[in-house]
């Protein structure tokens, strides 16, 4: 029997009661029937009966702050003819972010262990339990996701991104030695185009794994290219569930979403690596980098802020809409902006965060915590953080990058910008620090927590201290698709001085009173 996982001295508070948090030990373990349980017991008294006992099959965990989690369990009571369901919710607090993250990883491990067990029916037969994908992704989100990618018009949109498609083709054909005579697995094959590229490069056999209805179109396309298709097998199903007759020498996939990680397909790519790839096998792409830099864009800031002006009407058919203005203002700033922008809007040189697909664990993608540190190149107002990504195809012959950076040919990913409600003022040479914190959720995306701060600059700067701090909470799944091409900006590094505004900077302080302060990470 597997040894329990213990987390001593956590703070537990029942949200249905008014009592304060109490220190307890959290224990993941199996009960006598083999079910996985999460139990909270008195500190140092694991052998004593639990104060709270959760069945992991009906329990979910949500992050509500840097060190706080929320455990919600669906329970039932009554007899078979009068059964009533209800929820129990407890807040679990930890001393450090590492402890909180470790608890989340343990929860996923024990919950997935439970889901691997088969369910025994009354007649003794069994039915397969949920796959790892199904256990962490909402069914409605997965249904919409696979429906979207099951349509040819969306596949066409990606195929017509010639930067994307051309780079993949070049990376494969230029590294023919990596594919020739090798077994290839195409993860999330879509239309099957990457499988056909691999076959063109001389692959011995390609297994094209696709979970959506697009698998049928892929089969039709591959059958229509018989000289290549005779070495390609289309398998409809999720990589978490399908079985292959042999191991792969190389994985190829296009698992990148907005900000690289949106849609959480990178996790399926890592799972495919662990399930199918030989120890010496290659991955195309091999690694990814998320790039970040503060930006100044008065046009964009005013555009986002002014969207909420509709709710400033005091006589909308006799109705005063202003009570909702603060919530609307907050909501528009919770949307990351997806568009192409002029790289001259960047306030400092970018930094980047590496994701090595050949080494990282799937659980590493559940939460990304990226420290930020920049030096402003100009004196201006900082309106938020700009992000983009690139991926490397580390072939034996040629190393080729696919980039989505500003100033490069635009891709269907564009770039992404997180706009802060409260801009920061910086001087040239001033330090900008902060944190980009991405937390995965079951709707196949991430919640973004952004903090940017400026520190003292000039004479006396050695005394340290934060001058300004601005925070934001954004939902990566609900972006504002602006999708504009880069505009012609003046060469003046401070263009905001010549631009008209409807919302003035001084108005922001007034608006803060209308905004829920829970947006601040420090208050979560």
DSSP assignment string, 449-476: EEEEEEE--STTGGG--EEEEEEEEEET
CA nearest neighbour of 427 among 469, 456, 451, 403: 456
Secondary element (H or E) of residue 159: helix 152-159
Question: Tokens for 268?
Answer: 């399926």
Give me the pLDDT at residue 121, please. Answer: 38
Between the two ends of the chain, the Cα-to-Cα distance in Å is 38
**pLDDT of 46:** 53
CA 343 to chain centroid? 24
The CA R_g of the chain, rounded to the nearest whole Å, is: 26
Helix (H) or strand (E) holding 400: strand 399-403
Contact predicate 401/410, CB 8 Å: no
Q: What is the pLDDT of residue 509?
A: 42
* Residue 258 burial (10 A CB sphere; 0-12, 13-18, 19+): buried
**pTM for the complete prediction?**
0.71
Only one residue has tokens 């937390």, namely 439
- The answer to whether the beta carbons of residues 429 and 448 sit under 8 Å apart is no
**Torsion angle of the four alpha carbons 300, 303, 305, 306, in this order, in degrees rounded to the nearest 10:** 170
pLDDT of residue 183: 97
pLDDT at residue 48, as a whole number: 58
**Token code pair at residue 129:** 């339990």
Q: Which residues fall within 8 angstroms of residue 278, CB to CB, at 6 or more apart?
A: 247, 248, 249
pLDDT in the model for residue 505: 41
pLDDT of residue 465: 66
- pLDDT for 282 equals 98
List C-alpha distances in Å: 392 to 67, 289, 386.
Answer: 34, 9, 21
pLDDT attached to residue 483: 75
Identify the three-state secondary structure at position 438: strand
Per-residue model confidence (pLDDT) at position 390? 98
Q: Any idea which residue has 């995965």 for tokens? A: 440
- Pair 30, 46: CB distance under 8 Å: no
Which residue in 141, 151, 208, 201 sits closest to 175, CA to CA? Answer: 201
DSSP secondary-structure letter at 319? B
Kindly list the catalytic residues: 161, 254, 263, 412
pLDDT at 55: 86
- Average pLDDT per run of 10 along the chain, which is 524 residues long? 81 73 86 83 68 84 78 63 59 87 85 55 43 86 92 94 97 98 97 98 97 95 96 94 94 97 96 96 98 98 96 96 96 97 97 97 96 96 98 97 97 97 95 96 95 76 73 96 64 38 42 40 32
- H-helix or E-strand containing 299? helix 298-306
What is the structure's pLDDT at 111?
A: 81
Predicted local distance difference test score (pLDDT) of residue 442: 93
Query: Quick count: other Cβ atoms within 10 Å of Cβ 327?
Result: 13
What the chain holds in terms of domains, given with CATH numbers, is: 5-76+86-113 (2.30.29.30), 142-254 (3.40.50.150), 289-481 (2.70.160.11)
The answer, yes or no, to whether the previous bond of 458 is cis (omega within 30 of 0) is no
């Amino acid at each position: 029997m597997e040894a329990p996982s213990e987390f001593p001295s956590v703070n537990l508070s029942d949200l249905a009661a008014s009592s304060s948090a109490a220190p307890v030990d959290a224990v993941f373990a199996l009960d006598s029937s083999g079910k996985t349980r999460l139990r909270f017991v008195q500190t140092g008294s694991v052998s004593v009966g639990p104060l709270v006992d959760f069945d992991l099959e009906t329990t979910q965990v949500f992050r509500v702050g840097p060190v706080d989690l929320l455990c919600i369990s669906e329970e039932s009571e009554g007899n078979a003819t009068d059964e009533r369901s209800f929820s129990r919710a407890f807040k679990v607090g930890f001393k450090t972010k590492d402890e909180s993250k470790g608890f989340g990883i343990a929860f996923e491990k024990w919950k997935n262990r439970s889901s691997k067990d088969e369910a025994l029916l009354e007649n003794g037969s069994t039915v397969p339990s949920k796959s790892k994908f199904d256990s962490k992704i909402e069914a409605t989100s997965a249904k919409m996701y696979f429906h979207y990618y099951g349509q040819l018009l969306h596949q066409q949109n990606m195929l017509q991104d010639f930067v994307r498609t051309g780079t993949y083709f070049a990376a494969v054909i230029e590294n023919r030695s990596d594919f020739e005579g090798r077994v290839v697995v195409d993860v999330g094959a879509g239309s099957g185009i990457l499988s056909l590229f691999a076959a063109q490069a001389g692959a011995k056999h390609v297994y094209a794994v696709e979970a959506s209805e697009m698998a049928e179109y892929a089969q039709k396309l591959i059958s229509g290219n018989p000289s290549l298709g005779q070495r390609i097998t289309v398998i409809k199903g999720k990589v978490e569930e399908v079985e292959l007759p042999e191991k792969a020498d190389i994985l190829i996939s296009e698992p990148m979403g907005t900000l690289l990680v949106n849609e959480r397909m990178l996790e399926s790519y890592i799972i495919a690596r662990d399930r199918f790839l030989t120890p010496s096998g290659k991955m195309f792409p091999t690694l990814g980098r998320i790039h970040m830099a503060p930006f100044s864009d008065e046009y964009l800031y005013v555009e986002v802020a002014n969207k909420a002006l509709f709710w400033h009407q005091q006589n909308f058919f006799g109705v005063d809409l202003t009570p909702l203005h603060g919530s609307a203002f907050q909501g528009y700033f919770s949307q990351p902006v997806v568009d192409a922008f002029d790289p001259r809007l960047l306030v400092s040189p970018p930094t980047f965060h590496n994701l090595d697909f050949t080494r990282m664990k799937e659980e590493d993608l559940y939460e990304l915590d990226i420290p930020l540190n920049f030096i402003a190149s100009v004196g201006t107002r900082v309106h938020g953080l700009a992000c983009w990504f690139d991926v490397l195809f580390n072939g034996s012959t040629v190393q080729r990058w696919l980039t989505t950076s500003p100033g490069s040919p635009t891709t269907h990913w564009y770039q992404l910008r997180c706009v802060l409600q409260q801009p920061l003022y910086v001087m040239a040479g001033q330090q900008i620090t902060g944190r980009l914190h991405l937390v995965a959720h079951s709707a196949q995306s991430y919640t973004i927590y952004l903090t940017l701060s400026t520190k003292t600059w000039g004479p006396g700067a050695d005394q340290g201290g934060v001058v300004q701090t601005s925070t934001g909470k954004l939902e990566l799944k609900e972006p504002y698709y602006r999708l504009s091409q880069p505009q012609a900006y003046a060469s003046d590094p401070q263009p905001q001085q010549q631009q008209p505004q409807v919302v003035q900077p001084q108005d922001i302080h007034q608006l803060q009173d209308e905004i829920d302060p829970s947006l601040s990470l420090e208050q979560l």
